[in-house]
Structure 1
Amino acid sequence: MTEPTTKTAPLELRLSRHLPATPEEVFDAYTDAEKQKTWFSILDEEPGIVRIEVDLRVGGQQVAVWGPSEDALFRETQTFLEIDRPHRLVTESVGSTPDGQSMTTHITVTFQTDGDGTLMTVHQTGFPAPEIRDFFASKAWVGALDRIDAYLRTHGNRAVR
């Protein structure tokens, strides 16, 4: 008697947002440490801790640490696997929460000219559970894209005034 095998689809998300800047400006806002430090907290009422270092080269890493206080910090280390500025960025992401939980995912971000701006598309795979994927799809990435959008509207080369 053979045991039935079950093949589960990988847990992934894909979402896109139109942003008011060129692909180069959006790519730079997403990858430049100083710009990230600005947009990371641009919509916060209370300033928190944001530390970001970026070594933007294949094999290099981006390390982001953020949170409301030193004893409640989130950490994400992304290793750059592919960089095609300003079109595509592929990373392996290792994230951890203040309580010590961690996960590793694979992220592909593309930047395509879209009318008067850029269509930024995120494809992330490797989530350990559907509820974590759903949180990233409905909160984490939406919040990040909202912040990048606000940054580009107020700090970008073609800032909307």
Structure 2
Amino acid sequence: MTRLLPATPDEVFDAYTDAEKQKIWFSILDEKPGVVEINVDLRVGGTQTAVWGQDADTLFHETQTFLEIDRPHRLVTESTGGGPDGSSMTTRIEVTLTTRIEVTFEAHRDGCLVTIVQSGFPAVEVRDFFSTQVWVGALDRIEAFLTRGARDVR
């Protein structure tokens, strides 16, 4: 999927990878604050761990391992995540979903064109859920962060 965001590639890359900025955009569109815990070790072989949800009983988790970093142009990670019931985020099976994510950040006259390619899904339905729900929501939140900034911190 692709999305044009109203910022430079540097600004978008930083919003996508900086733990403090992620803590803001993860919940920027929520009516009431939930739980957001993020740690980032931005280096090849390093990880980003994120835990989030409405409350302590409904937490999702994701760990991304950085495979390639070409700031601010490209980022490749392997992502493993699951949901509050111990199953994968979308399939409700007793395995954890592991995928590969490639994100590019390209300068455009109107901002930054972000392209996301995620592969390794166990089923078309899971892939479609990520492309129509998960990534749309994440990019909506990043866009809100870029346009509103930190003043929306709750």
**TM > 0.5 fold call:** yes
**Match among 128, 132, 145 for residue 122 of structure 2:** 128
Task: Give the TM-score of the pair, scaled to structure 1.
Answer: 0.86
User: Who is 1:79 aligned against?
Assistant: 65
CA distance in 2, matches of 1:119, 1:93: 22
User: Who is 1:142 aligned against?
Assistant: 136
User: Who is 1:6 aligned against?
Assistant: none
1:1-161 equivalences under 5 Å are 15-101=1-87, 102-155=96-149
Task: Give the TM-score of the pair, scaled to structure 2.
Answer: 0.90
> How much identity, in percent, do the aligned residues show?
68
Q: Deviations over 1:102-128 (max 9, x none)?
A: 200000000000113000010000011
Q: Deviations over 1:120-161 (max 9, x none)?
A: 0100000111111111111100000000001000118xxxxx
Partner amino acid for 2:49? Answer: V
After the TM superposition, list the runs of 4 or more consecutive aligned residues in structure 1 that deviate by more than 3 angstroms.
none
Q: Deviations over 1:41-95 (max 9, x none)?
A: 0000121100000000000000000001111110000000000000000000001
Q: Give how far 1:34 is off.
A: 0.2
CA distance in 2, matches of 1:72, 1:91: 25
| Residue-pair matches, total | 142
The runs of 5 or more residues in structure 1 that have no matched partner are 1-14, 157-161
